[in-house]
Amino acid sequence: MTMVKKSITVTDRQEAWIQSQMAAGNYGTDSELIREALREKQLRMEGIELIRAKLIQAEQNGFGERTAEDILASSKESLRRDGVL
């Protein structure tokens, strides 16, 4: 995978946390931490989009006896089981 160099700005608090994670040995570099944070955010957004699509589909097809809340809870549970959320 090609890497692209970026310059980012973080708050003092964020920098302190990044440094503490590296000092604890959780990450070798701040870039590792940022890439992992981005991967987690991508997965979370994919999960949200999947839930949204299921709710739209259910709304278009009629909910039947299930409420939007039931469908949302079921979708979230499925995503947790699959490790997406």
Half-sphere CA count of 59, side-chain side, radius 13 A: 9
Does residue 1 fall inside a structural domain?
no
Give me the mean pLDDT over the 79-84 stretch.
84
Query: Does 6 map to a domain?
Result: no
Residue 3 lies in a domain: no
pTM: 0.66
Specify burial of residue 40 (Cβ count, 10 A radius: 0-12, 13-18, 19+).
exposed
The pLDDT score that the predictor gives to residue 38 is 96
Which structural domain, as residue segments, surrounds residue 58? 12-81
Asked if residue 46 lies in contact with residue 85, where contact means CB atoms within 8 angstroms, the answer is no
Domain assignment present for residue 51? The answer is yes
Say what the pLDDT of residue 78 is: 86
The count of structural domains within the chain is 1
Q: Is residue 7 part of a domain?
A: no
Neighbours of 58 (CB within 10 A): 19
DSSP tag of 8: -
| Residue 63 lies inside a defined structural domain of this protein | yes
Greatest CA separation for the chain: 54
